[in-house]
Amino acid sequence: MGEERGLTRIGVSLPSNLLNKFDTIIRGRGYSSRSEGIRDAIRAYIVEYEWMERESGEEIGTVTYLYDHDQRGLGDELTEVQHHFIGMIKSSTHIHLDKENCFEIIVTQGDAKKIKELAENIMSLKGVKHVKLTTTHGGI
Ligand code: NI
């Protein structure tokens, strides 16, 4: 990450349940302050994004996500996104997780940049709670 200079104060609005969960985690991990936990979370976010930016060429990967089953129109939007990337989706699995949540796994193969675009398209939809992307090269 390199040298970090100075500190800037920012104000962030968060849903209280999200903040409560975050506070529980950072307490459990022994952080001395909420600010330090947030700094680490932002660093991890940046590292993951930069790692994905560097990926290129043919890859195989998975996109997994949890989404709110009751979010109006979301099921159709997710289908729409998958049809847009149809050439590179090898399989998908849908699991009805509980009353509110569905979990999906998409196995995808193609250009790394397109796989990332697929994950970002899903991530941007309202009601999608958690997206994880993994990729690997063939022939390792
Ligand atoms: Ni379902």
* Token pair 């790394």 in the structure block, residue: 112
85 CA distance to ligand 1 centroid (A)? 21
* Residue 43 shares a structural domain with residue 75: no
Domain count within the chain: 2
* 36 shares a domain with 99: no
| Percent of the chain at pLDDT exceeding 90 | 74
Question: What pLDDT does residue 57 have?
Answer: 84
Least Cα distance to 65 among 18, 120, 104 occurs for 104
Mean pLDDT computed over every residue of the chain: 90
Segment among 3-17, 22-36, 45-59, 107-121 with least mean pLDDT? 45-59
Reported in sequence order, the residue ranges of 44-116 that DSSP labels E, i.e. its strands, are 58-68, 89-96, 101-111
Domain span at residue 23 reads 16-53
Contacts of 79 (CB under 8 A, 6+ apart): none
> If pLDDT is split at 50, 70 and 90, which confidence band does 3 have?
low
Neighbours of ion ligand 1 (CB under 5 A): 96, 102
For ligand 1, the distance from its centroid to the CA atom of residue 99, given in whole angstroms, is: 9
Which residues 6+ apart lie within 8 Å of 36 measured at CB?
26
Residue 103 — very low, low, confident or very high, per pLDDT cuts 50/70/90?
very high
Indicate whether 89 and 103 sit together in one domain.
yes
117 CA distance to ligand 1 middle (Å): 23
- Does the residue 6 lie in any domain? no
Helix (H) or strand (E) holding 41: helix 34-54
Decide which of 135 and 109 is more confident.
109
∠ CA 125-126-131 to the nearest 5 degrees?
Answer: 60
Could you tell me the pTM of the whole model? Answer: 0.69
CATH number for the domain harbouring residue 44: 1.10.1220.10
